[in-house]
Amino acid sequence: MITLNSYLSKTYGSSPLIVFRIGFGLLMLISLIRFWINGWIEELYINPQFHFSYYGFEWVKPLGNFTYILFLICGVSSIFIALGYKYRFSIILFFLSFTYIELMDKTTYLNHYYFISILSFLMIFLPLNIRFSIDSYQKKVSYNKVPIWTIDSIKLLITIVYLFAGIAKINSDWLLKAMPLKIWLTSKYDLPLIGETIMHKEWFHYLMSWGGMFYDLLIPFLLLISFTRGFAFFLVVFFHVFTVILFPIGMFPYIMIFSALIFFSSKFHEKIIYNISNFLDKLIKSKKIFKFYNTYNIKNTKIIYPVIVLFFIFQITFPLRNLLYEGELFWNEKGYRYSWRVMLMEKMGYTTFKVNDLDSGKSFYINNRDFLTPFQEKQMSFQPDFIIEFAHFIGDYYKKNGIKNLTVNADSFVALNGRRSQRFIDPEINLYLEKRSFKNYNWVLPFNDEIKGF
C-alpha cells in the first residue's frame, strides 16, 4: 500500500496532458469534417433503409436528418476540448455523441473508432484543462504538475492496444503463411518504385508480417524507455505512414502517431506549449494574470480511482473473451471485435437468403440489394451476427407483407485468407427461429481448417 500511495502522490509536469488535449480535439475535428465532406453521413447513416445493430444496442438508430446535428454536436465538442472550454462537459458530450454515432450501424465498425470511444471515456476523468485552456484562463488558475498516474493511464491504454494487436498476430496464418498480407501487398502492384519490384515477393510478405508483429509487441516498451524513445517514434511514424500508403485506413495512423507523443517528456511538451503560446501572443495581446499553483489535486478520488481501475480491468479482460468460445475465432467471429484484431483477415463472403412460405409451399430467394447498400451487403455476407440479424429483418418484412408462416434459410459461402470458399451457414437451419446471444452460434458450420495461435 505504501508503494501504491507513493505512486498515487507522485507528480509530473502537466504539459503532456495539455498537448494531448489540444491534439485530440483537433484530430477529432478533422476526422469529423472529413467524414462529413466525404458524404459518408448520408451514405452510411441516412440512405440505408436498414441498419445493423450491436447486440443490446438495437435502440441506437440514425436520427434521420438530425444525424447531421449529432455530428455537429460532436464536432463542436471537439473544438471545445481543444480549447479547453467547459472541458468536463465537452468531453462527456463528445464521448456520448461519438459513441452514439458508432453504435448506429455496426457495418462501419472499426477498431480505431472503438479506441476513440474508450479513450474519450478515460479522458472524462483526467484533468486536461488545468492549464493553457479557456477554463484555466477564466478561473485565472493554472497548474504545472499533475499526479503522474493521469499521464500513465493514457500510456497504459495505448500499450494495451499495441500489445493485444501484437498478440493477435501470433497465429499460423499471419506468421507461417504471411496471410492476408500476401494478398494485400501483392495487389499493390501499382505503387511507384516498390509496386513492381518487391510487393509481390514472398520474402517481403513474411518480412512485413513478422515485422508487424514485433512492431506491435515492442513499440510500447521502446516508447517507454527514454533511451530508445526517439528511435521508437521514428518507427511509429514509418510504420503508420506505410499503412497509409498501402491501405485505405482513414485517420487511424495519424491518431496513433499523435498518441505516441504522450510518451515524451514534459520538457518536450513544454516546448510545444511555449511555441503555441508564442504564436498566440502574436495574434492576441493578452495579459497573463494567472495564479500559478504547483500541483493539481484530483478531486473525487473515491469515485475516480475505482472507475479507472474497473476500466482497465475491463480493457485487459474483454479482448480475451474469445477464449470462452469454441471454434475458430476468424470463422465464427465470436469475440473478434473490441479486441484489437486489426487487418488479420481477408474474408470474402457470398450470402443469399431463401424465404419459404410454409402455407403455400412456395419459396424464393431475395435480392440483398433491395434492402442493403453494397457496403452493408459485403459486410453482412461473411459475419454471422450480421447474417442472423438480416435473416430476422427479412422474416419480419415478409411476415408484414402477408406470409404468415415462413422460414428463412441462408445459402452462404465464405473464403478466408486465401483458402477456397466453404459453406458457411447451415442451409437446413431456419434462421428466423435462431436468436442472437452470447452463446456459440450453432448455425455456423465448422471451419474446415485450423488456424493455430491467438
Partner 1 sequence: MKKILTLLILILLITCSKESGSDTIVSVVDATPVVANSSDTSSNNDADSTTETNTSDTSSDSESASFDRKAMLENWVNNIIIPLNEDFKTKLNSLKEETSKFKTSPNSENLKLVKEKWLIAYKSWQHIEMFDYGKAEEIYYQSKMNVYPTDSERVERNISSETYNLDNANNNDAQGFPAIDYMLFGIADTEEKIIEKFSQSDNKYISYLTNVIDKMYSVTSEVSSYWTDNKDSFISSTENTATSSINKVTNDFIFYYEKGFRANKIGIPAGVFSGTTLPDRVEGYYSKIYSKQLALEALDAVENFFSGKKFNSDIKGESLETYLNFLKSDGTDLSKSISDQFTIAKEKINSLNEDFTSQISSDNNKMLITYDEIQKGVVFLKTDMLQTLSISVDYIDADGD
Q: Does 40 bind partner 1 (CB under 8 A)?
A: yes
Cβ nearer to partner 1, comparing 195 with 327: 195
Nearest to 174 by CA among 206, 142, 126: 206
**Which residues, 6+ apart, have CB-to-CB distance to 262 below 8 Å?**
16, 20, 151, 154, 155, 158
- Distance (Å, whole) CA 327 – CA 305: 38
Q: Which of 60, 217, 366, 397 binds partner 1 (CB under 8 A)?
A: 366
Q: Which of 56, 64, 306, 418 binds partner 1 (CB under 8 A)?
A: 418
Q: Which of 53, 339, 379, 383 binds partner 1 (CB under 8 A)?
A: 379
**Taking each helix axis from N to C terminus, what angle separates 301-317 and 148-168, rounded to the nearest 10 degrees?**
10
Contact map string, positions 204 to 243, toward partner 1, x by CB under 8 A: -----------------------------x---x---x--
- Distance (Å, whole) CA 440 – CA 246: 35
Residue 139: count other Cβ atoms within 10 Å of its Cβ: 13
Residue 212: count other Cβ atoms within 10 Å of its Cβ: 21
Q: Which of 201, 291, 439, 452 binds partner 1 (CB under 8 A)?
A: 201
Q: Which of 108, 117, 120, 322 binds partner 1 (CB under 8 A)?
A: 108
Nearest to 255 by CA among 71, 74, 126, 110: 110
Cβ nearer to partner 1, comparing 93 with 262: 262
Least separation in angstroms between CB 245 and partner 1 = 6
Q: Are 243 and 111 in contact (CB under 8 A)?
A: no
Least separation in angstroms between CB 112 and partner 1 = 7
- C-alpha cell, 319: 479482448
- Distance (Å, whole) CA 159 – CA 173: 24
Least separation in angstroms between CB 244 and partner 1 = 4
- Distance (Å, whole) CA 453 – CA 169: 8
User: Applying CB under 8 A, which part among 52-60, 139-147, 369-377, 435-443 lies near partner 1?
Assistant: 369-377
Q: Does 49 bind partner 1 (CB under 8 A)?
A: no
Q: Which amino acid is present at 148?
A: I
Q: Which of 282, 400, 420, 435 binds partner 1 (CB under 8 A)?
A: 420
DSSP letter, residue 382: T
In order of 113, 368, 416, 417, the CA distances from 182 in angstroms are: 26, 31, 13, 9
Cβ nearer to partner 1, comparing 126 with 251: 251
Q: Are 280 and 132 in contact (CB under 8 A)?
A: no
Cis amide prior to 427 (ω within 30 degrees): no
Q: Does 186 bind partner 1 (CB under 8 A)?
A: yes
Cβ nearer to partner 1, comparing 27 with 146: 27
Site for partner 1 in 76-95 (CB under 8 A): none
Q: Which of 421, 440, 446, 448 binds partner 1 (CB under 8 A)?
A: 421
Greatest Cα-to-Cα distance within the chain, rounded to the nearest angstrom:
83
Q: Does 397 bind partner 1 (CB under 8 A)?
A: no
Cβ nearer to partner 1, comparing 141 with 249: 249
Q: Does 435 bind partner 1 (CB under 8 A)?
A: no
Site for partner 1 in 328-357 (CB under 8 A): 342-350, 355, 357
Return the H-helix or E-strand segment holding 385: helix 384-400
Site for partner 1 in 252-281 (CB under 8 A): 252-254, 257, 268, 271-272
Q: Does 314 bind partner 1 (CB under 8 A)?
A: no
